[in-house]
Structure 1
């Protein structure tokens, strides 16, 4: 069993932590300390989000994983690759920031229930600039 301190934390609520050890993402139940393997990424996952009501989560990196806490759904969509940021905007909607340093960087809206996406806008602010961990969007 892996110690909770071994994980790099991506997101935390009062009930859960989403973290990773290198390319493997995990959901950790805080009360029981039970660790559940979520999935693997090409490279480390970059970001995660757990809904305000703790009923679903997203993990972003080389791809997007949707975790509805009894089911894992991998979202295969090239426009949603290389995710750098996630933020919840409604009970079942999030905004997704794709790689801000790429030519195709954009902010997308994603509906958790329908699994549909809608491009909000292109995001060229960091195109051609040096890499930075801190992205303002």
Structure 2
């Protein structure tokens, strides 16, 4: 279990205000001092794996995505999202990785680049087109839905076409693009 605490200062507590049993914090405060309040008790949630290779692992928990070198345990990328990431890819040769949700983050050992603007956000899906190109689909139900390409050699992002196939249609789990 993970406990979240908040410390309030300058609160006059009664002479023997009990504190919940938290390891070394067992005991009582004498006034005037600080008041420790338990805000919430939340179970630890495991990271959800998006993709992994024999060398790299791309995973997320809540709104945080993490790329880790599995051999050394070193964190290579830590990226926060508004909402959870939707998709991610690790190159089969472990040369690069992409994680996407409201924005897209492209990682290489020598560079990390974040992409987001008015026409490129809410990435829905990605696929590898060839050894240096990744195709990216933004939210298919959005008025701005489109297909983009990211060149993994020079990190150049370019719009290929608008994607109107699912606009004004009911949501479906599988999108053909």
- Partner Cα distance (1:29, 1:114) in 2: 23
> Which of 21, 27, 32 does residue 61 from structure 2 map onto?
21
RMSD (CA atoms): 2.0
> Which of 50, 66, 71 does residue 31 from structure 1 map onto?
71
Q: Which residue of 1 aligns with 2:147?
A: 107
Q: Report SS of the residue matched to 1:18.
A: strand
8 Å contact from structure 1 (residues 44, 61) kept in 2:
yes
Q: Which has the higher contact order (CA 8 A, sep 6+)?
A: 1
Superposition deviation, residue 32 in structure 1: 4.2
Runs (4+) of structure 1 exceeding 6 A deviation are none
Gaps of 5+ in 1: none
> Which of 121, 124, 129 does residue 84 from structure 1 map onto?
124
- Partner Cα distance (1:16, 1:85) in 2: 20
Aligned length: 133
8 Å contact from structure 1 (residues 96, 108) kept in 2:
yes
Gaps of 5+ in 2: 1-44
Q: Report which of the two structures shows the higher radius of gyration computed on alpha carbons.
A: 2
Superposition deviation, residue 33 in structure 1: 4.5
1:64-113 CA-to-partner distances (Å, cap 9, x unmatched) read 10111343221243322110111122222110000111011111111123
- Normalised by the length of structure 1, the TM-score is 0.83
8 Å contact from structure 1 (residues 38, 72) kept in 2:
no
